Amino acid sequence: MQLIFCRLRTHQWCFILFNVVLFHILFFGADLVEEYFLRALPNTYTDMKVLEARERARKLDMTPLKANISKAYVASRSEACSNQEIFLLVLVFGSPENLSRRNTIRETWANQTHVRGYGTLVLFVLGKPSSEGTQLEVVQEMEKHQDLIQGSFLDSVENQTLKTLMAVEWAVTFCSRARFILKADEEMFINLPSLVEYLLNLRTHPEDIYLGRLVHQEKPNRDPQSHGFVSQQKYPEKYYPDYCSATAFVISQDVARKIYVTSGEVPLSLPPGAFVGLCSKAAGVVPAHSSRFSGKKHIRYNRCCYKFIFTSSTARDTQLLQEWDEISNGKGCTVLETYYGLVSCKVMTYLDGFKHLSVDALQNEALHFAD
């Protein structure tokens, strides 16, 4: 083998080197190009409506409304932020019936109150279940863990945008000193240390921060027979404005206030992500893209890769427990290990994507053949 390498001529070495460089450009270039073209540009505010919305957000004072707002919740946890400095408030959206998942999250990535000396607080956001028996279980869970916020509306697919608005209202009312707010769905793995470190290293003043996996030029669902139908009357435009995937995104406290003051102008019947995007746009806030947010994708597990990314969709509790045990063992990753981990999980995730596409294609062919 050594002899073969020694006998390689200059043009052969150049060819090998060219292919190695090309591989890396193609492999990591997509993320770099994506980050470049989807980056947030500096804003200049000339629209009077935008300026008025920003001024209303700046002057917003929820103190007189605290008592009335508390009555709108089954459980408000209004004192959760009162005696501590919160750097990152994490609001996990889940189903009332899914106690098992909440317990798994409590045992894994949410089981930390400080990251690099900065306070983090994880709370679960729920609506009301359809079953009285489930509600009794939720009440017992509240008494035991003291980490639930529950609205008085039915927790259904149709009410997820209402749940999002409720969470924003709660944050600006009862946790107004939290510098950042992370909204995440319960199926997500969250790498809090990596995310907190990123937020601490932001070069700009931490205002107008709206960060996540960008959804670009998504069309509203115009099929009246399908779930999530949006009529022309509700939203006449061809595309939604760019917004961050509702699976997980970060906003600064000032953006939460801006979303709250503009929310009355946006229909609650729109999907949660688009709703937040429209509210943000009305206040002159531009979403910023980061490829370290996975969106709905499951990133194939690699320890050093998971120490770098911010989120990954993880369906099974057992999978999350196993991955967390390995990630949290205190062992760090060298630059080379991180590089290898990113290559490994990226390749395997792409392969998983092709596999799912192939399965879907076979299923569609089978259905077509049956018809």
Note the pLDDT tens digit of each residue in 265-287: 999 999 999 999 999 999 999 99
212: which strand partners?
249, 289
Task: Summarize the confidence of residues 245-257 as an average pLDDT.
Answer: 97
| N-terminal to C-terminal alpha carbon distance within the chain | 57
By the 8 A CB rule, do 87 and 192 touch? no
243: which strand partners?
215
**If pLDDT is split at 50, 70 and 90, which confidence band does 114 have?**
very high
Tell me what pLDDT residue 64 has.
82
Q: In this predicted structure, which of 33-47, 107-121, 176-190, 267-281 has the lowest mean pLDDT?
A: 33-47
Note the pLDDT tens digit of each residue in 201-227: 886 667 999 999 999 999 999 998 888
Whole-angstrom Cα Rg for the chain: 23
CA–CA dist 326, 322 (Å, integer): 7
- Which stretch of DSSP H or E encloses residue 162? helix 160-174
Q: In this predicted structure, which of 83-87, 153-157, 250-254 has the lowest mean pLDDT?
A: 83-87
User: Is the model more confident about 340 or about 283?
Assistant: 283
Q: Domains of the chain, with CATH numbers?
A: 32-370 (3.90.550.50)
Handedness of CA 128, 134, 138, 139 (dihedral sign): positive
Tell me what pLDDT residue 366 has.
39
Residue 368 has pLDDT above 50, yes or no: no
Name the token pair of 361. 């294609």
Task: Summarize the confidence of residues 79-102 as an average pLDDT.
Answer: 95
Q: What is the pTM of this model?
A: 0.85
151: CB partners within 8 A, 6+ apart? 72, 73, 74, 125, 126, 127, 128, 162, 163, 166
Task: Summarize the confidence of residues 54-71 as an average pLDDT.
Answer: 88
- Give the rounded percent of residues in the chain with a pLDDT score beyond 90: 61
Task: Summarize the confidence of residues 87-114 as an average pLDDT.
Answer: 96
Tell me what pLDDT residue 336 has.
83
Residue given tokens 């089978």 in the structure block: 366
Tell me what pLDDT residue 343 has.
79
Mean pLDDT for the chain?
84
Residue given tokens 């279980």 in the structure block: 137
* 81 to 177, 213, 225, 299, 300: CA distances (angstroms): 8, 28, 44, 33, 35
**If pLDDT is split at 50, 70 and 90, which confidence band does 13 have?**
low
Task: Summarize the confidence of residues 185-214 as an average pLDDT.
Answer: 91
Residue 171 has pLDDT above 80, yes or no: yes
CA–CA dist 9, 309 (Å, integer): 40
Tell me what pLDDT residue 83 has.
83
Residue 151 has pLDDT above 90, yes or no: yes
Tell me what pLDDT residue 43 has.
56
Beta strand residue intervals within the chain, DSSP E: 73-75, 88-93, 114-115, 118-128, 148-154, 180-185, 188-190, 210-215, 243-252, 288-289, 311-313
CA–CA dist 189, 315 (Å, integer): 9
Nearest to 78 by CA among 65, 87, 97, 60: 65
Tell me what pLDDT residue 11 has.
56
Tell me what pLDDT residue 364 has.
47
128: which strand partners?
154
CA–CA dist 231, 127 (Å, integer): 26
Tell me what pLDDT residue 28 has.
47
Task: Summarize the confidence of residues 296-304 as an average pLDDT.
Answer: 89
Helices (H) and strands (E) in the chain, counts: 13, 11
Handedness of CA 207, 211, 214, 215 (dihedral sign): negative
